[in-house]
Chains A and B, each alone.
Chain A
């Protein structure tokens, strides 16, 4: 069973609907035991790092998630799910899960015409091959909504970048953990294909 981790961080049903569109049954749960037992885990989220971490801890979902990652369960983080997988976020100066070494910073842009949050469709450029990014063509775009971006310590975990006054990491992968800053569930066909590949992924990069 694929589970979608529910920790009061945004609209999980859009992820569930997108999964259904590619014939993947995914169950929304806030039960740490279900997360531990899951075949695959989708870890989405929209909102602030501080309240997200409080909510994860209150339900013991933080431990369940890190254990599942350590145990080899394929995990797909999305947006805030990606961000709180790193060690620390500038948002609320918050210590986060630490699954991936690195931190999350706020966009500090010099061009006043560039808006924050970075909201809309942007090209995703694959810089390191990964099974979940197979078939993404150079001009394929994904939908983004975020004011903070990930800066992984090890540059080799970065699988794809997008350009917003310079390249930033928008997809990262390490072993059985993979995460995107963009929203595959809101990115039309290219996004649905990513979810479809995740449903078949064995967790090996």
Chain B
């Protein structure tokens, strides 16, 4: 039986961990490679880097980070943030990323999903979606809307409709990031995650809102997610990767417990 996955997301700006990430041990501040290695050795199942660099030389910086991590971390590595073309995707793959996350650029130009799937294989194309609750209406039958550009720009697209379109265009996996739950530490948005997971045949990664281990349990069971993504829970030192996995395993969720 397939295990559920615990995925950690690291936001990288200018080659360093973004300031929103605070670490107890000050030695670690700013080094995504160290952090990635630490989580890997602690049993992390998959790693996501999100590049939030704004400058124009962003690409070369993230490529260096990915390359350094890929030399030391032997689990699937996923990279996103500003992927606009097949060239971006293949550059990141050559640097060592297994999977490529597309988000805003795919909403603006959906064909990007198909192009990336053709170039690097469906299973390596992750469609990451930022979604906000708007209430059910004629325009939004699911009650959820797609937003882009880091949650700032509403697109007038129904979330469930975009999900199905993404799967049809060849996405191999989905990240469901709830803008409403993100940062609250009140738990993942279960209803949204479950609705999307039930609507597709590809794996769904839940993102946004995790605060305590029980939240991971809820989204992996009731929310029907295949994987739970965490960030601040582990970055702040409140929880460890292995501790979270042990907790889930003790509650009866099948996790990889040997590494």
Contact = CB atoms under 8 A, between A and B. Distances in A.
Interface residues of A, number: 40
A188 B74 contact: yes
A164 B203 CA distance: 14
**Most chain B beta-carbon neighbours within 10 Å: one of A14, A20, A163:** A14
A119 B74 contact: no
Contacts of A192: 74
Given A13-B70, A114-B2, A120-B227, 7 more contacts: A14-B96, A120-B226, A147-B123, A186-B76, A187-B74, A187-B75, A191-B74
Given A113-B224, A141-B258, A119 B173 contact: yes
Contacts of A115: 201-203, 226
B144 interface: no
A14 B227 contact: no
A47 B121 contact: yes
B229 to A, nearest CB: 14
A118 B202 CA distance: 9
B184 interface: no
A87 interface: no
Contacts of A189: 74, 259
Interface string B61-81: 000000000111011100000
B257 interface: yes
A116 B202 CA distance: 6
A133 to B, nearest CB: 15
A186 B257 contact: no
Size class of B's contact patch? 20 to 34
B96 A190 contact: no
A120 B3 contact: yes
B91 to A, nearest CB: 12
B15 interface: no
Interface string B1-43: 1111100000000000000000000000000000000001000
Contact of A116 (B5, B201, B258): B201
Contacts of A186: 74-76, 98
A10 interface: yes
A97 B85 CA distance: 35
Contact of B257 (A47, A114, A117, A139): A139
Kindly name the residue among A10, A119, A190, A191 whose own CB sees the greatest number of chain B CB atoms within 10 A.
Answer: A119
Of A20, A117, A147, A188, most B-chain CB atoms within 10 Å: A188
Interface of B is mostly: loop
B2 A11 contact: no
A119 B123 contact: yes
12 contacts: A13-B70, A21-B72, A21-B74, A46-B121, A113-B224, A114-B2, A118-B2, A119-B173, A119-B226, A121-B256, A123-B3, A145-B123
Given A13-B96, A21-B74, A143-B75, A119 B172 contact: yes
B67 to A, nearest CB: 9
A137 interface: yes
Contacts, number: 92
A196 to B, nearest CB: 12
A140 interface: yes
B94 interface: yes
Contacts of A20: 71
A11 B5 contact: no
A185 interface: yes
A11 B172 contact: no
A106 to B, nearest CB: 13
A129 B121 CA distance: 34
B259 A17 contact: no
A186 B94 CA distance: 15
Given A115-B202, A139-B258, A120 B74 contact: no
A18 interface: yes
B93 A11 contact: yes
Most buried by A among B72, B74, B94, B121: B74
B3 A14 contact: no
Contacts of A139: 257-258
B56 to A, nearest CB: 27
A30 interface: no
B224 A120 contact: no
A55 interface: no
Interface string A4-45: 000000110110011011000000000000000000000000
